[in-house]
Amino acid sequence: MGIGKTAFGAFADRDLRSLAVEAGEKCLRNAHAAPAQVESFYLGNFAGPAFVGQNHLAPYVSTALGIYGVPSTRIEAACASSGSAFFHAWTEVAAGVYDLVLVVGVEKMTSQPTARVSQILAEAGDCSGEMKVGSTFASLFAMIARRHMYEFGTKKEHLSMVAVKNHAAGALNPDAHMRKVITLEQAMKAKPIAEPLNLYDCSLVSDGAAAVLLAPLERAREFTAKPVRVLGIAQCSDYVALDQKADIVTFPAVRRAGEQAYRMAGVTPREIEFAELHDCFTIAEIVATEDLGFVEKGQGGPYAFAGCTALRGERPVNTSGGLKSKGHPVGATGVAQICDLVLQIRGEAGERQIERHSLALAENLGGSGATCVVTILGAA
């Protein structure tokens, strides 16, 4: 498995294609592979047409990487676009259809004003229902947070601690968008966005790209001295509209994808040593630690507040800084999570390297839970 990433941030002088190409080229170099060896290409991208006015993005990117002729396919699944692209690429390699498949995830968001960014993001929700009446993803996740507080006694400081923790990790990540340590007091007192969520409960609007090259296990050592193996993976789906869900403090697509991935990997949730979880909002990370079985339902808040998911905690979550600090270029996020897990598994995570780093999980969420991809990785 080869990996490549751009820095995440707000890059006024970079366009979507140059970001995607940078990540793709770094990935091919990392794997000592040539473009002509790639047998199928996937692009994960959420809203290139709306953000930068370009559609038909897969061949637009792949030909710029020097990849011709082969299938070149864009997958859109909201914030899980490149997680889904990775899932389908893995499926084709695992089934023996192709040997070498390159997956690039990319989003260029910062060229649009904030109000337009919110509108484009809202199109990942149900625009004939919840979004039509004025919801945003911040307000939907605020409702989830409120309900979680009501049912389980989750507190504002639990949410804020997730932000503090992810900023602390992201400050050590040279590719992170916002390398800034924050205190619990700062996190608690930030500008309200959709109460109980404030500015520090929300992930960043970023530009960036990430890439992964997949190969069958038996050929992995042609491309890397430190192969990483996909032990389990699943993509699951559910209602787009939050109001169609029976219970908003749990995501059935996450639970189901987790169960399938654990079964495929033959591991239990408690065995997972570290994870990248989809912290689009702080409450989303807390809910994910529950839905994925790291803790009992309702215990995610105290678990985070106690430091268990911190960089030096018992089960580090988002050692990259997560969407909160590393940044969230929507279509790049799923593949970026994979890259960050691979760095840790290989022992190449620099200042943020953790000690137990052989079994990891990535959870990439689309919308308010309509798409989820869970991947379990281990050293091969």
Q: Binding residues for its own copies, per CB under 8 A?
A: 15, 17, 41, 46-47, 49-50, 52-60, 62-63, 67-78, 84, 87-88, 91-92, 95-97, 120, 123-128, 235-240, 244, 252-253, 256, 366-367, 370-371
CA–CA distances in Å: residue 348 to residues 29, 339, 352, 357, 377: 16, 11, 9, 11, 15
Closer residue to its own copies (CB): 95 or 225: 95
Closer residue to its own copies (CB): 237 or 299: 237
Give the nearest distance from C-beta 71 to its own copies in angstroms.
4
| Helix ranges (DSSP H) in 292-380 | 300-305, 322-325, 333-346
Of these residues, 79, 236, 339, 372, which one is catalytic?
A: 79
Give yes or no: 280 in active site: no
Nearest Cα to Cα of residue 233 among 334, 95, 86: 86
| Helix ranges (DSSP H) in 171-213 | 184-188
Kindly state the tokens that stand for 163.
């932000």
Give the nearest distance from C-beta 259 to its own copies in angstroms.
11
- Write down the residue that tokens 């995830």 correspond to: 105
Rounded to an integer, what distance in angstroms lies between the CA atom of residue 179 and that of residue 184?
A: 16
Phi, psi dihedrals of residue 338, rounded to the nearest 5°: -60, -45
Closer residue to its own copies (CB): 171 or 264: 264
Nearest Cα to Cα of residue 341 among 231, 182, 216: 231
Which residues contact residue 276 at a Cβ distance below 8 angstroms, ignoring those fewer than 6 apart?
Answer: 317, 318, 319, 320, 322, 337, 340, 341, 360, 361, 362, 363
Rounded to an integer, what distance in angstroms lies between the CA atom of residue 282 and that of residue 328?
A: 13
Closer residue to its own copies (CB): 96 or 134: 96
Which residues contact residue 113 at a Cβ distance below 8 angstroms, ignoring those fewer than 6 apart?
Answer: none
Rounded to an integer, what distance in angstroms lies between the CA atom of residue 341 and that of residue 275?
A: 7
DSSP codes of every residue in 316-336 = -B-TT-HHHHT---GGGHHHH
Closer residue to its own copies (CB): 233 or 295: 233
Give the nearest distance from C-beta 337 to its own copies in angstroms.
18
Closer residue to its own copies (CB): 214 or 359: 214
Nearest Cα to Cα of residue 164 among 207, 136, 198, 130: 198
Amino acid at 167: H
Give yes or no: 328 in active site: yes
Of these residues, 148, 177, 328, 357, which one is catalytic?
A: 328
Rounded to an integer, what distance in angstroms lies between the CA atom of residue 72 and that of residue 60?
A: 9
Closer residue to its own copies (CB): 53 or 174: 53
CA–CA distances in Å: residue 168 to residues 309, 319, 339: 12, 9, 19
The catalytic residues are 79, 328
